[in-house]
Amino acid sequence: MSAIETEASRGGARAVAIASVIGRFIVIAITTYLGLLAVTFFIGRVIPIDPVLAVLGDRARPDVVERTRREMGLDLPLVQQFYIYLKNALSGDFGNSVLTTNPVMTDIRRAFPATIELATLGTLIGSVLGVPLGVLAAVKRGSLVDQVVRLIGLIGYSVPIFWLALLALVLFYAKLKWVAFPGRIDVVYEYSFTPVTGFYLLDSALQGQWDVFRDVFRHIILPASLLGYFSLAYISRMTRSFMLNELAQEYIVAARAKGLSETRVIWGHALRNAAVPMVTVIALSYAGLLEGSVLTETVFSWPGIGLYITNSLQNADMNAVLGGTIIIGSVFIGINLLSDLLYRLLDPRTKVG
């Protein structure tokens, strides 16, 4: 076999391997999403809330209730109801919200950018502070610095976020006046500012409205810092673990034996290798903030999808609750699979071909 044929054979095998990996990811994504849809559908059917009465009220006439039940397809067999639900969900139709009377997807498009903006800033804070703290704790293993960093992480895991949020409001808003009132933007700017992307910090900066930017920043910084703290607790703990594993490897001993500086050994070699699994950690932390910011948004009256779902649940608006749950679950699945794919691409040991 010639060199050209050998190279062509290798290229074909590599292409097949890559296609196999991509196909496996697609199958996993589809299966997981269908499972999510099935779980949300059956949860919506077993909870003790009648969707018809949620729309019409408790005093509706029986004939109106029965007609509405037929119009909503709730008189059909359960399998047929699931098929209709699946078809509508895949097309992005989650019905109308009882609370706002808008299509659920319209409400989600309005609320989700606020959650993304809050979670993104929180993840940035957690990553920028958590990674150096984790590295420092690993380098100073067993020292007072290590104990302090681990204590910070332990508090982040243990303290309920709503309790810490209330304390932060009392201190930084009520006492020190360092941050703005709960909400996303002051009423002074609410009707004069026109968002384009839905991300207020970005929109105000692009439009050159720096007074609006400062006001939005004063509103977002406290809830983002709290989410960043909980993200920091997770990221610093995992960074410390990864760094301890890398610092025990033989290549670190060899690097030190060659006379390389400790700074270069730690930041140029150990952290570089630990950064590969850290991609997955940071991505999962980000996904966790997107789905887990319900209590934070409620305490700070942040008009994101978490507050939207909470208000909908309190008003028995199950279309909105299930629609929001599916969207958050879909984002979590997507980020999880993307982080896994990035891990495979960045780690030479997992490359195909």
Longest CA pairwise span in the chain (Å): 87
As a whole number of angstroms, the distance between CA 105 and CA 123 comes to 26
State which amino acid sits at residue 266.
I
CB atoms within 10 A of CB 113: 20
As a whole number of angstroms, the distance between CA 325 and CA 320 comes to 8
Question: Residue 353 pLDDT more than 80?
Answer: no
Q: Which residue has the higher pLDDT, 279 or 117?
A: 117
Q: Identify the bridge partners of residue 96 per DSSP, sorted by sequence position.
A: 103
User: Residue range 226-243: average pLDDT?
Assistant: 91
User: Residue range 80-106: average pLDDT?
Assistant: 84
Of the pLDDT bands very low, low, confident and very high (cuts 50, 70, 90), residue 292 is: low
Of the pLDDT bands very low, low, confident and very high (cuts 50, 70, 90), residue 82 is: confident
Contact between 70 and 81 (Cβ < 8 Å): no
| End-to-end Cα separation, the chain, in angstroms | 20
- Chain segment 117-151, per-residue pLDDT in tens: 999 999 999 999 999 999 999 999 889 999 999 99
Question: Residue 200 pLDDT more than 80?
Answer: yes
What SS3 state is found at 194? Answer: coil
Of the pLDDT bands very low, low, confident and very high (cuts 50, 70, 90), residue 339 is: confident
Distances (CA, A) of 36 to 17, 22, 103, 215, 304: 29, 21, 21, 38, 22
As a whole number of angstroms, the distance between CA 268 and CA 274 comes to 11
Contact between 131 and 231 (Cβ < 8 Å): no
Looking at residue 107, its pLDDT comes to: 92
Looking at residue 223, its pLDDT comes to: 93
Looking at residue 351, its pLDDT comes to: 53
Distances (CA, A) of 278 to 254, 271, 310, 342, 346: 24, 10, 32, 11, 11
Which one-letter DSSP state was computed for residue 181? P
Q: Which residue has the higher pLDDT, 232 or 12?
A: 232
* Chain mean position to CA 314: 23
Looking at residue 228, its pLDDT comes to: 92
- Chain segment 29-74, per-residue pLDDT in tens: 788 888 888 888 887 777 767 777 766 767 777 878 788 778 777 7
Q: What is the mean pLDDT of the chain?
A: 83
Residue listed under structure tokens 């034996």 = 257
Q: Which residue has the higher pLDDT, 49 or 263?
A: 263
User: Residue range 181-197: average pLDDT?
Assistant: 87
What SS3 state is found at 304? Answer: coil
Of the pLDDT bands very low, low, confident and very high (cuts 50, 70, 90), residue 22 is: confident
Q: Which residue has the higher pLDDT, 220 or 85?
A: 220
